[in-house]
A and B are shown apart, each in its own frame.
Chain A
Amino acid sequence: MNLILFTFIVLLGFTSYYFGRKKAYTIQSTKKRLTALPQFYGYYLAIWCAIPAFIIFSLWAIFEPTIVKLLILSDYSNQGYLDDELNLIYEKTKALSRGQFTGEITPFIEASAEKYLSLRSIAQSSKVVIVLSAIIASVAYAYKRISSNSRTREPVEKFLNAVLFTASLAAILTTVGIVFSLIFQTIDFFKVIPLFDFVFGTHWYPAKAFVRDSSEALDPTMYSDTFGAVPIFAGTFFIAFIAMCVAIPIGLMSGIYLAEYASTKVRQYAKPLIEILAGIPTVVYGFFAALTVGPFLKELGTSMGLEVSAESALAAGGVMGIMIIPFISSLSDDVITSVPQSLRDGSYAMGATKSETIKRVIFPAALPGIVGSILLGVSRAIGETMIVVMASGLAANLTLNPLESTSTITAQIVVILIGDQAFGDPKTQAAFALGMSLFLVTLCLNIVALRVVKKYREKYE
């Protein structure tokens, strides 16, 4: 139904474009000077068709369900139902009216479902009437304006400008959405679990906080010593540290080699090949780490008489390091190539070898940019999810032994939120609190890194 209406309105838009342009031609034929190209007359009319339709459609989408719900549930008021029960009744009504209801049908619900259907159909038909009459009115108004040959290009361009501006707000809206989705759950979480326990507690057993019966009162003492995030934070930074131990030497050296030593031919092939590593989905790395690297390290360790967990931090961190190599190599390659040639020439003129030039002149000059690229790599490592979910442990151990298994922020979020979630449960909220800390940490890293890189670029441009 909505689709038909929508298509009809789109058709109306095209027709009004056509009539607007035609009007422009008739004005032109009376030897009057047009104020804009004829198609602007058409656009003008089409925009006047689209705006009321858009406004009414969105108003309807926002208010119709609430109003219908209010009307349905008004039948049940004064009968002493709780809010939850009323919601349940409403869900049942909707399910029944869609014919998807499985359960005992009471006459009450059946009556409600009938009322629901009739309300919906009233709403639908009134929507059609209102939308169409609004469109006709506004298009008639606009048509009158273009008949008197008033300006059309400026309003059309202003409208387009407004659309472009709205689109550019999407980035801000996304950020707001992220903060919004995290903050309420996080605040609720800290109402039950003191911030101090979360930041300094050393025991993390979210499984202990099983889904609670919602009728029971919340007992904070139940959760003491359950949500201490120190092991999680420690594990996260530990695995990121291992990853950087792999990624920094290899990535930096390949970046230097590509920028300073490699012939054009080697560069042409080696650079995209290394960048393939960045294009491989992380779930593939996770599979590789869990199925190949983990067991391999375990066997290697056993043959040397060491006890290695099959889900060791080393396996997850090492594979993560491989994933980060191209980020560091590409960025440091860019940064090194943008160091001005005059610095190199000066150093060579003093008799320095190539490697001495790199180590003593280019590297210090490029250092801010390289630090920026490493920070971006760290932020990637901290936020990486699938590798740790699949290859590292899910139990949070507080350990600094790379051969044991640890867990990370991201892995815990997945563990908690996989399957069904009950909002309002401390366990679910804990995942959002973890997400909040992850967001804040990576945000700081990113801001610092981006600023450093930007400052560096400005210096040499």
Chain B
Amino acid sequence: MNKNKEQLLNKRYNAEQRFRLYGLSAIFMALLFLTIFIFKIFSTGYSAFQKTWLIVPVTFDAELMMLDQNPSKEDLQDADYYDIALKSMADLDPNANEDQENELKRMVSYFFEKEIKNELLNDPNLIGKTKEVYLTASDDLDQVFKGNYPRDLPEDQRRVSDYQLKIFDQLVANGKVESKFNISFFTNADSREAELAGIASSFMGSIFSILVCLMIAFPVAVLAAIYLEEFAPKNRFTDFIEVNINNLAAVPSIVFGLLGLGVLLAIFQLPRSTPLVGGITLSLMTLPTIIIAARASLKAVPPSIREAALAMGASRMQTTMHHTVPLSMPGTLSGTIIGLAQALGETAPLILIGMVAFVNTIPGSPMDPAASLPVQIYIWAESAERGFVEKVSACIMVLLGFLIIMNLFAQIIRHKFEKKWS
């Protein structure tokens, strides 16, 4: 009998241990996913911050460039650089036949002509001389150099030919291939060529959208929260508004995209693909988030503050505007930043209002067509070229970096400025 009891007790204790273990492993699993996730992004993305350059001797032959004696600045602008660019690539292998010369040309980005031109514009005295110029390597060679490209594939399945690899290896052996920090990733707009594509346009698109979103959502949400928390009478109508806000916070984001498409674009005829429309759509999405945060922080201001102000003869409006609202601002602001961080990561509604268009210029205002960082991730993730994979990861790193900064900022505001009552 006693033994039986002990067995039962042991069984129960074991069950207790097991249950605890389940809980612990659940947390462990969740954190494991997070780790794998971040590790994967960083391990594929960090190499995008480096860019491979080929150092190629270029002879600035005035005759090939169709230049006269003592050319002016305009002449240099208009000169023909294609031939010398082609020649300098072809000179890498003096025995190359025509096909091979073509392959040599494709070892660098199609931008090589411009790079050579800039070199001369910087130093016009180079005419007639030879200089080693840094040329952006094609994205495939870039990947080869970073070790991301399987060189052992059969040649017909590779985008890099054996011949190109041979010449490339020679260049590497001679120290004519260099890897430098990839500034163009941050300064270039999107491009069809992976080696030239950058995040500048989508970054500006994101900034403009978020600004528009902030300018609309923040004032409207704060005013709405003040009304609902401080002035609204308790009746059916205000209950209805509340239910509405809570529901809007849980409506799928793509529905807001349909709203933007069906109302902003189709009825109000606002320009497609622009951060203006994107920002308005996002502001409708963040509105409930900010209202809920602002109401919570208004609620947290103790009634004694209001009573003190009212006792001093302030009207209700004065009490609210002079005391309650300023005291609630830290909570409201941190809620706003968190809402904006959500909006910054939103993709689906922006795709529907056309912000997926290929934009190769950097937008200068919210009325110019643009993409945004998350949409850029989507665009690049859908392209087949291998060079884009690391770009996607790098873009994700930039986006996550921004989200982390915004969230930290929200935390700081909350802890530094929020008054603790009681």
Give me the interface of A with B, judged by CB distance under 8 Å: 153, 157, 160-161, 163-165, 167-172, 174-175, 177-178, 180-182, 184-185, 249-254, 256-258, 260-262, 270, 273-274, 276-277, 279-284, 286-288, 290-292, 322, 325-326, 329, 353-356, 358-359, 376, 379-380, 382-386, 389-390, 410, 413-414, 417-419, 421, 423, 431-432, 435, 438-439, 442-443, 446-447, 449-450
Contact = CB atoms under 8 A, between A and B. Distances in A.
Q: How large is the interface on B (under 10, 10 to 19, 20 to 34, 35 or more residues)?
A: 35 or more
B284 A174 contact: yes
Interface string B312-323: 000111000100
Contacts of B247: 175, 443, 446-447, 450
A249 B348 contact: no
A39 B291 CA distance: 29
Nearest to B33: A322
Which 10 residue pairs across A and B have the least CB separation, nearest first? Answer: A383-B252, A181-B262, A257-B23, A281-B345, A253-B26, A167-B223, A355-B19, A164-B227, A385-B348, A168-B224
10 contacts: A161-B231, A171-B224, A178-B259, A180-B263, A279-B342, A279-B345, A353-B12, A355-B19, A410-B254, A449-B250
Contacts of B284: 174, 177
Interface in B355-414: 356, 374-375, 377-378, 381-382, 389, 392-393, 396, 399-400, 403, 407
Given A161-B231, A257-B27, A286-B381, 16 more contacts: A171-B244, A174-B259, A184-B262, A253-B27, A254-B27, A261-B23, A262-B27, A270-B27, A280-B403, A281-B399, A322-B30, A356-B12, A359-B19, A410-B254, A417-B352, A442-B255
B377 A283 contact: yes
Contacts of A292: 40
Nearest to B28: A254
Contact of A175 (B24, B31, B244, B403): B244
A356 to B, nearest CB: 7
B241 interface: yes
A284 B231 contact: no
Contacts of A167: 219-221, 223-224, 227
B302 to A, nearest CB: 18
A382 B81 CA distance: 56
A286 B378 contact: yes
Nearest to A181: B262
A443 B377 contact: no
B246 A254 contact: no
B347 A274 contact: no
Contacts of B250: 376, 379-380, 442, 446, 449-450
A64 to B, nearest CB: 14
B333 interface: no
SS of B interface (majority): helix
B240 A172 contact: yes
Given A171-B241, A287-B396, A418-B356, A253 B22 contact: yes
B30 A178 contact: no
A280 B403 CA distance: 8
A287 B381 contact: yes
A291 B389 contact: yes
Given A383-B252, A442-B252, A181 B259 contact: yes
Interface string B248-267: 10111111111101110010
Contacts of A413: 254, 258, 352
Contacts of B352: 413-414, 417-418
Contacts of B251: 178, 383, 439, 442-443, 446
